[in-house]
Amino acid sequence: MLQILLYFILNFAGFFVFLAIWNRIPKPKPFDYTTIPGLKLNVNTAEEIPDLILKPGTKTDRNFEGHFKEIRKFPNLQSFLDFLFLTYGPLNSFWWSNRYVVTVSSEDLISELKKFRANLVAISPFAIGSYLQGDPDYCTTIEYDTLSHHHSSKEPCPIIDKTLNESVQDAKFMKCEQQFRSSTNPPTIKDSLRQVENLYKNPKNLRDLLSRPIFCVFNEEVWLDAHPIPKYIPIIINASKMVENWNNDELFPKFYSIFYWIPGFHDLKIT
């Protein structure tokens, strides 16, 4: 009987000794924040992985390559997004320098994102390259729902901001540079969002126009296909993979019904 008691006491004590040792051992952070498929970092230790959460306007680390070796194989952002879609499916991720990025390419995933629209950040959906580079003129932490989404029909549309043109944003995406314009009158958040009207105005080729990649940012963690995505992670939407399956007569109505909640899209009209 004494031997049995001694056996249990020693095992019980051994467990607590092991637990104490385990709790003192430093735990490496996971190599991937989630199980989202995509390009993985080529690092030797978990400590080499950058912080996942970078606030809007945080400058990127130009010495951290991320996946630029892969990005440079493609002529533009759209081609790179198509590669990710074909290789990893409609939900994937990569590292733009030291900034973690998620991309989505299906209507079902967009519907999931829409559930978190109360936590949208008021950032232009076209400023992908500017946001990644940390350009303060196109980055904010202000919540979209705190702004008025409506404007008077008599209120003139702001002057076209050429920085938000697709070719300019593509160039910013393809290079990890931080050459920000020194403007004494940077665009206001409202004007930046209203550029949606300018960029979708009188389209010559509606399908191509609506196929342009857009993005959004949330100020709280969101869940997508059972994967947690931290706040301020840029989520790029590969709209072309949805638009390509639509008939010409349903292009804009369907586009608006899916994306009306994106910052700047609320009063969008195609003329």
Q: What is the pLDDT of residues 38-85, one digit of tens each?
A: 999 887 777 788 888 999 999 888 888 899 999 999 999 999 999 999
Please check the confidence at residue 182 and state whether its pLDDT lies above 60: no
Tell me which range, 30-39, 190-199, 206-215, is most confidently predicted by mean pLDDT.
206-215
Domain residue extents for the chain: 55-259
**Cα within 13 Å of Cα(190), Cβ side:** 11
pLDDT-derived band at 192, boundaries 50, 70, 90 = confident
Q: Could you give the angle at which helices 107-114 and 251-259 cross, rounded to 10 degrees?
A: 40
pLDDT of residue 30: 46
- How far, in Å, CA of 34 to CA of 46, rounded? 14
| Residue 27 pLDDT | 47
Confidence (pLDDT) at 176: 74
Edge-to-edge strand list for the sheet holding 99-104: 91-96, 99-104, 235-237, 214-216
pLDDT of residue 146: 86
